[in-house]
Amino acid sequence: MAYSANEQRYDAMTYRRCGSTGLKLPLLSLGLWHNFGTNDDYGNMKRMCFAAFDRGVTHFDLANNYGPLAGSAEENFGRILREELSAYRDELIVSTKAGYYMWPGPYGDWGSRKYMLASLDQSLKRLGLPYVDVFYHHRMDKETPLEESMLALNTAVKSGRALYAGISNYDSATARKAAAMLKEMRCPFVLNQVRYSIFDRHIEPDGLEQAAAEAGFGIIAFSPLAQGLLTDRYLGGVPENSRIGKGGPFLKRDQLTEARLGQIRALNELAKNRGQSLSELALSWVLRGERVTSVLVGASSPEQIVQNLGILNAPLLTADELARIDAITAAAN
């Protein structure tokens, strides 16, 4: 039976503008970094996409290397687009990136014009799309002139292969330079995608929020749950099917120290007092005020997506609660 979207999908979601641009994103966006790879369940992928879109999550975030295997997340989402979501393409924001290793040799990594535009063409083929809405340079490259990477983004937009340009993992100084270059090229630049959570606040002393406000681009946060540490998943031990339990490359067992566990427990109690789960508290914190345009959430089930969307009805964090969070996490930041 063909998928038909919920007619009330836009009733509850809040959308924020990307800086001073015309593009709006939902408060929560779905990241396909994990659980959309070669060995993951395709039916579950579809159900997660449906659960998100049925509730106003219009933004689906990918990269050339998401999987594993690299490229498989784009292939799987491309299949979902083709088979289930094609009628809704103009309601969707589909983003992808280039910047990490994709193929051997000197042209399969980093930020050269050769690599970025070849990678984008490969991504479009895997997705089965003529264009993506946002094309990002995925990381800074000290060996390639910044202007070359920005010119590649400009070419992607001017050629019709992307509607907007973005950057990811850029510090404030480099983001300012990139924004100035793209403005001079008259290339619409909308977002810097960065890691940000209660446990990882590096963008604050770096001054990225001020740079975004002054240059007019938005901030979209990834890893807001610190790879799952900011959930109740590890309060009773390490589950075998968790990221730590599986021994993956991004979250290691030695990161779950007793001190960190103590912080997680204290934050969990604060969340309970607010009538929230710990993950909801962590998302509410990232989205406090208007500092962040959208937060990227990953999920392994539709139920997780629905639970995280509970933040849409959550009370704002009070000054006392924010101070308590700072006190709990002071030793970690």
pLDDT in tens, 187-231: 999 999 999 999 999 999 999 999 999 999 999 999 999 988 999
Who wins on pLDDT, 217 or 331? 217
Number of domain units in the chain = 1
The residue with tokens 């789960």 is 277
Q: What is the CB neighbour count within 10 angstroms for residue 88?
A: 15
Residue 15 lies in a domain: no
- pLDDT reported for residue 254: 65
- pLDDT reported for residue 313: 92
Q: What is the pLDDT of residues 94-105, one digit of tens each?
A: 999 999 999 999
Residue 14 lies in a domain: no
List phi, psi (to 5°) of 321: -70, -40
Who wins on pLDDT, 233 or 212? 212
Q: Strand pairing partners for 132?
A: 162
Residue 19 lies in a domain: no
The residue with tokens 């994103």 is 25
- pLDDT reported for residue 167: 99
d(CA 144, CA 135): 18
d(CA 28, CA 312): 9
Residue 320 lies in a domain: yes
Who wins on pLDDT, 223 or 252? 223
Residue 13 lies in a domain: no
Percent of the chain beyond pLDDT 70?
93
Q: What is the mean pLDDT of residues 306-313?
A: 95
CATH number at residue 72: 3.20.20.100
Provide the pLDDT confidence category of residue 48 given band limits of 50, 70 and 90: very high
Residue 110: name the closest of 156, 145, 62 by CA: 145
Q: Does position 308 have pLDDT exceeding 50, yes or no?
A: yes
Of the ranges 89-93, 240-244, 296-300, which one carries the lowest mean pLDDT score? 240-244
Q: Does position 3 have pLDDT exceeding 50, yes or no?
A: yes
> Mean pLDDT score of the chain, rounded to an integer?
94
| Full domain range(s) for residue 196 | 25-332
d(CA 178, CA 96): 18
Residue 11 lies in a domain: no
The residue with tokens 């099917």 is 241
Tokens of 103: 């193929």
Provide the pLDDT confidence category of residue 333 given band limits of 50, 70 and 90: very low
Q: What is the pLDDT of residues 113-141, one digit of tens each?
A: 999 999 999 999 999 999 999 999 999 99
d(CA 178, CA 198): 27
Residue 6 lies in a domain: no
Q: Is 56 helix (H, G, I), strand (E, B) or coil?
A: coil
Who wins on pLDDT, 53 or 330? 53
The residue with tokens 């100084």 is 173
Residue 200 lies in a domain: yes
